[in-house]
Chain A
Amino acid sequence: MNILMAMFGAVSQGLVWATLALGVYITFRILNFADMSCEGSFALGGSVSAVLMVNIGVNPFMTVIVATLAGMVAGAITGILHTKLKIPAILSGILTMIGLYSINLRIMGQANTSLIGQTTMITIIRKILPTPEVLGIKDSTLQTWVVLAIGLVFTVAVIGLIYWYFGTEIGCCIRATGNNETMVRAQGVNTDVMKILGLVISNGLIALSGALVTQSQGFADVKMGVGAIVIGLASIVIGEVIFLRPRNFASRLLSIMIGSVIYRMIIALVLQLGLNTDDLKLFTAIVVAIALSIPTLKKNRAATRKGAV
Chain B
Amino acid sequence: MLKITDLYKTFNPGTVNEKQVLKGVDLELKDKDFVTVIGGNGAGKSTILNMIAGVHYPDKGSIVLEDEDITYIPEYKRAKYLGRVFQDPMMGTASNMAIEENLALAYRRGDRRGFAWGITKEEKEIYVDKLKELDLGLEDRLTTKVGLLSGGQRQALTLLMAALRKPKLLLLDEHTAALDPKTAEKVLKLSEQIISDNALTALMVTHNMKNAIQYGNRLIMMYDGRIIYDVSGEEKRNLKVNDLLEKFQSVSGGEFANDRMMLS
The chain A residues found within 8 Å of chain B, CB to CB, are: 167-173, 175-176, 179-180, 182-191
Are A169 and B116 in contact, with the CB atoms below 8 A? Answer: yes
* B136: interface (CB < 8 Å): no
Query: Which residues of chain A have C-beta atoms less than 8 A from B97's C-beta?
Result: 172, 175-176, 179
Closest chain A residue to B147, Cβ basis: A179
* B118: interface (CB < 8 Å): yes
Question: In whole angstroms, how far apart are the Cα atoms of A175 and B95 in the complex?
Answer: 11
* Cβ contacts A to B, 21 pairs, < 8 Å: A168-B113, A169-B108, A169-B118, A171-B118, A172-B105, A173-B113, A176-B94, A176-B105, A179-B96, A180-B93, A183-B91, A183-B92, A184-B94, A185-B76, A186-B53, A186-B79, A187-B161, A188-B77, A188-B110, A189-B79, A189-B113
Q: State which residues 57-93 of B face A: CB under 8 Å.
A: 74-77, 79-80, 82, 84, 86, 90-93
* Contact among A170, A176, A179, A180 for B115, CB-based, below 8 A: A170
Are B76 and A188 in contact, with the CB atoms below 8 A? Answer: yes
* B114: interface (CB < 8 Å): yes
Given contacts A179-B94, A179-B97, A187-B79, 7 further A-B contacts (CB under 8 A): A168-B113, A172-B118, A176-B105, A180-B91, A180-B95, A185-B79, A188-B79
- The minimal Cβ–Cβ distance linking B20 to chain A, given in whole angstroms, is 25
Question: In whole angstroms, how far apart are the Cα atoms of A140 and B110 in the complex?
Answer: 57
Top 3 nearest A-B pairs by Cβ distance?
A: A172-B118, A188-B79, A169-B113
Question: In whole angstroms, how far apart are the Cα atoms of A183 and B86 in the complex?
Answer: 9
Closest chain B residue to A174, Cβ basis: B113
* B106: interface (CB < 8 Å): yes
Closest chain B residue to A172, Cβ basis: B118
Are A187 and B105 in contact, with the CB atoms below 8 A? Answer: yes
Are B115 and A172 in contact, with the CB atoms below 8 A? Answer: no
Closest chain A residue to B83, Cβ basis: A186
Query: Which residues of chain B have C-beta atoms less than 8 A from A186's C-beta?
Result: 53, 75, 79, 82, 84, 92
Query: Which residues of chain A have C-beta atoms less than 8 A from B91's C-beta?
Result: 180, 182-183
The chain B residues found within 8 Å of chain A, CB to CB, are: 53, 74-77, 79-80, 82, 84, 86, 90-97, 101-102, 104-106, 108-111, 113-119, 161
Query: Which residues of chain A have C-beta atoms less than 8 A from B118's C-beta?
Result: 167-169, 171-172
- The minimal Cβ–Cβ distance linking B239 to chain A, given in whole angstroms, is 32
Query: Which residues of chain A have C-beta atoms less than 8 A from B114's C-beta?
Result: 168-170
* Contact among A170, A183, A188, A190 for B94, CB-based, below 8 A: A183
Closest chain B residue to A165, Cβ basis: B115
Query: Which residues of chain B have C-beta atoms less than 8 A from A167's C-beta?
Result: 117-118
Query: Which residues of chain B have C-beta atoms less than 8 A from A170's C-beta?
Result: 113-115
Residue from B95, B106, B115 with most neighbouring chain A CB atoms (10 Å)? B115
Question: In whole angstroms, how far apart are the Cα atoms of A188 and B94 in the complex?
Answer: 14
* Contact among B74, B109, B116 for A187, CB-based, below 8 A: B109
Query: Which residues of chain A have C-beta atoms less than 8 A from B110's C-beta?
Result: 188
Query: Which residues of chain A have C-beta atoms less than 8 A from B93's C-beta?
Result: 180, 183
Query: Which residues of chain A have C-beta atoms less than 8 A from B77's C-beta?
Result: 188
Query: Which residues of chain B have C-beta atoms less than 8 A from A182's C-beta?
Result: 86, 91
Closest chain B residue to A175, Cβ basis: B97
Question: In whole angstroms, how far apart are the Cα atoms of A189 and B80 in the complex?
Answer: 9
- The minimal Cβ–Cβ distance linking A281 to chain B, given in whole angstroms, is 31
Residue from B92, B95, B96 with most neighbouring chain A CB atoms (10 Å)? B96
- The minimal Cβ–Cβ distance linking B127 to chain A, given in whole angstroms, is 14
Are A173 and B105 in contact, with the CB atoms below 8 A? Answer: yes
Question: In whole angstroms, how far apart are the Cα atoms of A175 and B94 in the complex?
Answer: 9
- The minimal Cβ–Cβ distance linking B147 to chain A, given in whole angstroms, is 9
Query: Which residues of chain B have C-beta atoms less than 8 A from A171's C-beta?
Result: 118
- The minimal Cβ–Cβ distance linking A301 to chain B, given in whole angstroms, is 22
Closest chain B residue to A192, Cβ basis: B76
- The minimal Cβ–Cβ distance linking A183 to chain B, given in whole angstroms, is 6
Closest chain B residue to A190, Cβ basis: B76
- The minimal Cβ–Cβ distance linking B221 to chain A, given in whole angstroms, is 27
Question: In whole angstroms, how far apart are the Cα atoms of A175 and B76 in the complex?
Answer: 17
